[in-house]
């Protein structure tokens, strides 16, 4: 438990990748979308943020990652006012849970704050470790439930069947095909759903998993988004608006609790 979480009644989740342009903002935005569905009003007690181990302050999110979020209905209306920022030791100290894209990012977080090891995992590692947790054994209060989940995942390190190390990594898609960005989103979104399937009071958070289109990812084609056909045109319009706004100066991401 971090010094602030026990006293201010909040739970802080911090996502980390390299540039804070693709994977970690994708996870931040997707998790913000999923939390109210899974937790209802209790979602207001959670702070979700992201940063990059080599991020430059103030860069805009990768347009293909934003397009993938829009195509799958995870961006509502206008483009989020998102700008990249680097990780800081203070943000890590305050976080109750740090979820990284890869093991190398996890290592960078722990090098910055060694005591954060017990609450720092890759996204896929955390989902995998929680898979062996009896969800009925966790507390009912949402914050206590998440804290207990972090402890349970920590305690399962080295005690459940091992997987290839690379299986816990989500690799960078920046500069790759649109299909590769869709594939990354599907991986991140579905891992977050697995996490909420254990840590939310309801076993099913009420959101279906995303499905990668057959043959997508490497041939340069763009997978068809798994979306309600009745809303596909409005989502295309939102992305055109997002892409347009990405080429205009926008305000920096507002300071928020981390």
Residue 46: both structure tokens together = 């959670």
Q: What's the mean pLDDT in 63-78? A: 85
- CA–CA distance from 201 to each of 142, 143, 144, 197 (Å)? 8, 11, 12, 8
The answer to whether residue 223 scores a pLDDT higher than 70 is no
- Pick the range with the lowest mean pLDDT from 76-80, 197-201, 240-244: 240-244
How confident is the prediction for the chain on average, in pLDDT? Answer: 82
* C-alpha neighbours within 13 Å on the C-beta side of residue 197: 18
Instruction: Provide the pLDDT for residue 61.
Output: 93
Percent of residues, the chain, with pLDDT higher than 90: 64
The answer to whether residue 18 scores a pLDDT higher than 80 is yes
Instruction: Provide the pLDDT for residue 212.
Output: 66
Instruction: Provide the pLDDT for residue 206.
Output: 63
Instruction: Provide the pLDDT for residue 77.
Output: 57
Q: Which residues contact 233 (CB under 8 A, 6 or more apart)?
A: none
- What is the pLDDT confidence band of residue 109, given thresholds at 50, 70 and 90? very high
The answer to whether residue 251 scores a pLDDT higher than 80 is no
Instruction: Provide the pLDDT for residue 68.
Output: 93
Report the C-alpha gap between 62 and 161 in whole angstroms.
Answer: 36
Q: What's the mean pLDDT in 2-29? A: 87
The answer to whether residue 203 scores a pLDDT higher than 70 is no
Q: What's the mean pLDDT in 176-181? A: 90
Instruction: Provide the pLDDT for residue 204.
Output: 59
């Amino acid at each position: 438990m971090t010094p602030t979480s026990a006293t201010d009644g909040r739970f802080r989740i911090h996502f980390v990748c390299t540039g804070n342009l693709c994977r970690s903002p994708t996870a931040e935005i997707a998790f913000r979308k999923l939390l109210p569905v899974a937790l209802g009003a209790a979602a207001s007690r959670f702070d979700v943020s992201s940063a990059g181990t080599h991020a430059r302050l103030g860069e805009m999110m990768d347009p293909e990652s934003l397009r993938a979020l829009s195509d799958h209905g995870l961006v509502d209306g206008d483009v989020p006012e998102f700008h990249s920022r680097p990780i800081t030791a203070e943000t890590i100290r305050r976080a109750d849970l740090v979820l990284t894209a890869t093991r190398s990012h996890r290592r960078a977080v722990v090098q910055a704050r060694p005591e954060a090891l017990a609450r720092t995992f890759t996204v896929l590692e955390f989902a995998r470790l929680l898979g062996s947790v009896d969800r009925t054994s966790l507390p009912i209060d949402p914050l206590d439930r998440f804290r207990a989940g972090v402890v349970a995942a920590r305690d399962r390190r080295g005690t459940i069947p091992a997987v290839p190390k690379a299986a816990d990594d989500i690799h960078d898609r920046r500069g790759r095909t649109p299909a590769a960005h869709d594939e990354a989103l599907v991986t991140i979104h579905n891992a977050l759903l697995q996490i909420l399937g254990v840590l939310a009071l309801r076993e099913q958070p009420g959101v279906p998993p995303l499905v990668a289109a057959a043959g997508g990812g490497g041939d340069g084609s763009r997978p068809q988004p798994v979306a309600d056909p009745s809303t596909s045109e409005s989502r295309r319009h939102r992305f055109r608006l997002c892409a347009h706004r990405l080429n205009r100066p926008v305000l920096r991401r507002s300071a928020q609790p981390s």
